[in-house]
Amino acid sequence: MRAERIRQAALVAALLVPLGLLHAFVLAEICIGLVDILFLAESVRTKNFAWARRLWFLVALAWWAWLMLCSAPGVGAAGWAMGFGQAVVVIRLFLFTAALQNWLLTTQAARRAAWIMLALSGLWIGVEAWQQFLTGKNIFGDPRWGDGSLTGPFWKPRAGPLYAHLLFIAALPPVMALFAAKRRWAAIALVLLGVVTSVLIGQRMGVALTALGLAVCCVLIPRLRLPAIAAAILGAAVLVATPIISPPTHAKLVGETSANFHHFSQSPYGEIFTRATVMGLQRPLLGWGMNGYRVDCPQPRFATGLPALGIPPTQLKLGACNLHPQNYYIQAFSDAGLPGLILFMALVLVWTWHLWRGLWRQPDALRVGLFIGVLSYTWPVSSTDEFPTLYMLGWMFFFLGLGLACSDAAPKSEVKNG
């Protein structure tokens, strides 16, 4: 009985993590730490560490150990606190994911509660984006960002990518339930509303990730192919109309994107990617350790560009240095060299394989949404936050834990796709 009360307390803490990730990062950190401690204590009590032998966790440990080695003082560039210390605490997110998969979300009721928290989070962002679009301010009195993007319930522009990460997790279960109840037009309307909201938020990566999610839906759920295509067409039409209905959105999504694509190597993103790649190439075995890019990037020896690819030298005045390399894979290379990149790619592939298992035969709506949610984080062609900064990556590890738990619970019998 005491063990069950401890498990319930840990589940409550886990379910508070999305709230913390939205508006109170300290709360999220406290809840993740509490879940980890209780999970390890339960494993010791029951002498059950079978979860630690799962393939994804073993690969995660290998990558983490290599990152710590590369970040150690005397090896990495950032020293004890900024480098090695931050590498050490990465393990908390892997433990949190393992706890969700193997302990807290093993029942249907717990998985439903976790989905509700994610769905409410996505709904909250969408509602606040529309409020800001229609009235000029969100519930907290914050206006649009200076570049025209909608900030939703936040004071700065982080709504677009996060909304896209949550969109299919939140929307696919009710959409498929509406189809099953013969309420086809309501289902289609929900799909269209979700896509239009992403476009109006006005952040490039959010729109791109929404398009990726629609493509995955077309592949895995035949019933959604026509609605997904219709949503893509409507989204494009809204984009075309943005000079009239939302000029700041047009300037951000069309004008700035076009300029970056035409001169990518001299854009801030191109400069950052080139500089971080050069750093990795100059130390391909060990890299520069966690936060090594942040510390050593301004050094002139990294300004060479990539002559073999026709990419000119980078310039600090064009934004070649930032807090992080803006891409998980380039960061893995600059942080931990080629072995770190290989291990990180292996980890992503194992995660993807676990989440994909059985989806082609049995495309459960929530599992498809969670697969899209994780894929939208690990998709290599994207601009990202630092791995694993909590306020964005905390969501991915929550998705991952729920997705792995759903995969474990999925029926193994084959059913017709669609």
- The chain-wide mean pLDDT, for the chain, equals 91
Q: How far apart are CA 185 and CA 264, in angstroms?
A: 41
The answer on pLDDT for 46 being more than 90 is yes
User: In whole angstroms, what is the distance from residue 225 CA to residue 60 CA?
Assistant: 35
Is 247 a domain residue? yes
Mention every residue, 6+ apart, whose C-beta is less than 8 A from residue 242. Answer: 199, 249, 250, 253, 254
**Can you tell me the mean pLDDT for 155-175?**
96
- What pLDDT is attached to residue 238? 84
* Residue 373 lies inside a defined structural domain of this protein: yes
pLDDT at 60: 98
The answer as to whether 121 is a domain residue is yes
Which pLDDT band, with edges at 50, 70 and 90, does 256 fall under?
low
Is-above-0.85 flag for pTM? Answer: yes
Domain that holds residue 403: 2-48+90-261+357-409
The arithmetic mean of pLDDT across residues 238-257, rounded, is: 71
364-379 burial, b if ≥16 CB within 10 A, otherwise e?
Answer: bbbbbbbbbbbbbbbb
| CA distances (Å), origin 350, targets 98, 327, 344 | 14, 19, 10
- pLDDT number for residue 148: 82
Instruction: With a cut of 90, say whether residue 310 has pLDDT above it.
Output: no
Which tops the pLDDT comparison, 271 or 147? 271
Q: Which residue has the higher pLDDT, 249 or 146?
A: 146
Whether residue 252 is contained in a domain is answered as yes
Please state the φ and ψ torsions of residue 144, each to the nearest 5 degrees: -55, 160
Q: Which long-range contacts (CB under 8 A, 24 or more apart) does 78-83 make?
A: 78/288, 78/289, 78/290, 78/291, 78/292, 78/294, 78/295, 82/290, 82/291, 82/294, 82/295, 83/289, 83/290, 83/291, 83/292, 83/295
Residue 281 lies in a domain: no
Q: What is the distance, to the nearest Å, from the Cα of residue 160 to the centroid of all Cα atoms in its chain?
A: 12
Q: What per-residue confidence (pLDDT) applies to 169? A: 98
Paired tokens of 32: 């993740």
What backbone torsions phi and psi does residue 287 show, to the nearest 5 degrees?
Answer: 60, -160
Q: What residue type is assigned to position 396 of the chain?
A: M
| HEC secondary structure over 199-240 | HHHCCHHHHHHHHHHHHHHHHHCHHHHHHHHHHHHHHHHHHH
Per-residue pLDDT, 416: 40
Q: Is a pLDDT exceeding 50 seen at residue 304?
A: yes
In this predicted structure, the answer to whether residue 418 has a pLDDT above a threshold of 50 is no
- 51-108 pLDDT, tens digit per residue, is 999 999 999 999 999 999 999 999 988 888 889 999 999 999 999 999 999 999 999 9
Q: What pLDDT was estimated at residue 369?
A: 98
Q: Tell whether the model's pLDDT for residue 147 goes beyond 90.
A: no
Tallying the residues shown for the chain, one arrives at: 418
Q: Is residue 414 one of the residues assigned to a domain?
A: no
User: Does any domain span residue 173?
Assistant: yes
Binning pLDDT at 50, 70 and 90, where does residue 415 land? very low
CA triplet 326, 332, 334: central angle to 5 degrees?
Answer: 80
Whether 418 maps to a domain, the answer reads: no
242 has pLDDT over 80 = no
- Express each pLDDT in 257-273 by its tens digit: 655 555 566 778 889 99
From the list 153, 130, 158, the residue with the least C-alpha distance to 142 is: 153
Domain total of the chain: 1
